[in-house]
Structure 1
Amino acid sequence: MPGSFDFRHVRRAFSRAAAGYDAAAVLQQEVRTRLLESLVYLDDRAPAVVVDVGCGTGHAAAAMKKRWPGARVIALDLALPMLQQARRQAGWWRPFARVCADARALPLAEGSVDVLFSNLCLQWVDDLQAVLAGFRRVLRPGGMLLVSTFGPQTLAELREAFAAADEQPHVSPFASIAEFGDALMAAGFRDPVLDRDLFNLTYPDLPALMRELRALGATNALATRRRSLTGRGRFARAAAAYEPLRDADGRLPSTWEVIYAQAWGPEPGAPVRQGGQEIAAVPVSRIPIRRRSP
């Protein structure tokens, strides 16, 4: 889906949300906790360099710095105000580096990272395979990739309610678990393992759900979105379409599908699939040279 997102809008939305993000991010905190539990698969290995891509307010980076005090932990986010909030998690006793950068162009050296962690960030990228190829580039052979993202059932009720009220989409598209697995394989990762959870949150009404999404920075960032405010008429039609879904307690349901992926950095020269073909990069130093005798 090239060109799906307006990334300036994404940056602005998360910048505005930074100060109050933690209060609204209950689901994000639960997913982060579950993702961090997968670090046990490193066994007793102590990484030298750990990167948290899309770090938000820095809780995962702080947890990994606590787990590995001797590691260089880098918290990376597109929104500078998120990194300013992350400073509170670092503290003087366990500081970690904070870098304002884009997940689509990591400012990191090739093969320099032992653990690359990313919690609920990749749903904001257009070309998943290209971003994962960038992750592979910076990961050392045998390094660990640990990521989560939202799947296509996320906000299905909201998507359908607005579809009944407006021809313009209001909810971003999300990659399926099969598409995510294919992108990992195409990027050349080794031994990928994927899992998924379905969470069901409830709200008193549609405005409450929309307020939470704004507090999370998860506003409509589609490049094709309507640039004017959603009119009262369209919003009322969407609310009416949502209304029949109320549960036995009189609350509106909201489904959130979370995909988890764990994979490992391949050995140098492992191929990447592009255009139906496998392309391998081999260091010049590994190419044998036959020298003629004089």
Structure 2
Amino acid sequence: MSAALTPLPSLALTAGKQQVAQRFGRAAKSYQQHNELQQRCAQELLQLLPAKVGQVIDLGCGPAVNTMALVARSTGYLGVDIAPEMIAEAQRQVRSVEHQHTAVSWLIADAESLPLPAASVDTIFANLSLQWVGDLVATINQFHGLLRAQGCLFFSTLLEGSMLPLGAELQALQGGQWSHRQFYSETELQQLLAALPGWQLEFKRLPVTIMNDSVLAMLKDLQGIGATYRGDVNRWQHQAQLPSVLSKSKLQALQVNMAKYRNEQGRLPLHWQVALVKMTKQTD
């Protein structure tokens, strides 16, 4: 079947969400050249999925990074992204790909207010996209209503200890102290999710280290996936993203300060802590 874009007249977004959408929109064409972290997390998350996932939502689908892997397991695929440019790029990526046995469609929407019927999907897949929502609990409660009985939510998200040592060095340059409180700790997130009614929870922590040849390459990768927004979206992201522009003097200072982290091969690490989560909808 052919892929079809589900049109929306407009999205009622907060100023912060509009900036997020704009950042990711500008990264649409460069995203797949810089998304090693996303790819590695997706590989791990896809391993948690069963062979058949029924009707699936790919939340934060980006430029169709995981589309075909999900299409191969599903009876219907809906790619959702807040950035229209991401949806446009996704359509271009899969236009010539055969998916005759699975209906493929697209939706420009905010994850916190999906315009979909109750009990209409079997699986929700969200790879490194839920850290952008303002209210995680309300969003997951919304997913509970969208899923059919025994439906599953699979998601990955960032934990305390992510974006180091770069984040700490950047914060020091800005005259502040790096705080791990930018992200939930493993224990905090587990407790928050376990307290939500109507779910069976499975949780795993995944440490990921991305090696870079230079500070500039590291910054370019983060910029290439749209990770330069610093607005107060929520506690997960507040001050945890990169400044959009570094002055020449601060960039030089950052390069000097980061030199001490180089390994024997002269490469720089960027450490991430990732939660891999499966939540199965329980019914009375």
TM category, shorter: 0.7 to 0.9
Structure 1, 87-96 or 120-129: larger mean CA deviation: 87-96
Q: 1:210 to 1:22 in 2, by over 3 A?
A: same
Q: 2:85 aligns with which of 63, 81, 93?
A: 81
Asked if structure 2 preserves the Cα contact closer than 8 Å seen for 1:78 and 1:100, the reply is: yes
Mapped to 1, the partners of 2:54 and 2:133 lie a distance apart of 28
How far did 1:37 drift?
1.5
Asked if structure 1 preserves the Cα contact closer than 8 Å seen for 2:172 and 2:178, the reply is: no
Q: 1:47 to 1:29 in 2, by over 3 A?
A: closer
Say whether 1:108 aligns with 2:116. Answer: yes
Structure 1 segments, 4+ long, off by >4 Å, are 168-172, 224-228
Q: 1:219 to 1:145 in 2, by over 3 A?
A: same
Structure 2 equivalent of residue 292 of structure 1: none
Q: Rg bigger for which structure? A: 1
Q: 1:133 aligns with which of 128, 133, 141?
A: 141
How far did 1:237 drift?
3.0
Structure 2 equivalent of residue 287 of structure 1: none
1:88-128 deviations in Å (ceiling 9; x for gaps): 22546325110000111111112221111111101222322
Mapped to 1, the partners of 2:148 and 2:90 lie a distance apart of 26
Say whether 1:54 aligns with 2:52. Answer: no
Say whether 1:229 aligns with 2:260. Answer: no
Q: 2:71 aligns with which of 65, 89, 94?
A: 65
Matches within 5 A, 1:191-210: 191-210=200-219
Mapped to 1, the partners of 2:119 and 2:186 lie a distance apart of 27
Identity over aligned pairs, percent: 27
Say whether 1:256 aligns with 2:254. Answer: no
Say how many residue pairs are matched. Answer: 259
Mapped to 1, the partners of 2:86 and 2:178 lie a distance apart of 24
Structure 1 equivalent of residue 194 of structure 2: 185
Structure 2 equivalent of residue 161 of structure 1: 169
Aligned residues: CA RMSD: 2.6
Letter in 2 for 1:176: S
Structure 2 equivalent of residue 282 of structure 1: none
Say whether 1:33 aligns with 2:33. Answer: no
How far did 1:184 drift?
2.2
Structure 2 equivalent of residue 12 of structure 1: 22
How far did 1:147 drift?
0.6
Q: 1:196 to 1:204 in 2, by over 3 A?
A: same
SS in 2 for 1:96: strand
Question: Normalising by structure 1, what TM-score?
Answer: 0.79
Q: Which runs of 5+ in 1 are unaligned?
A: 269-294
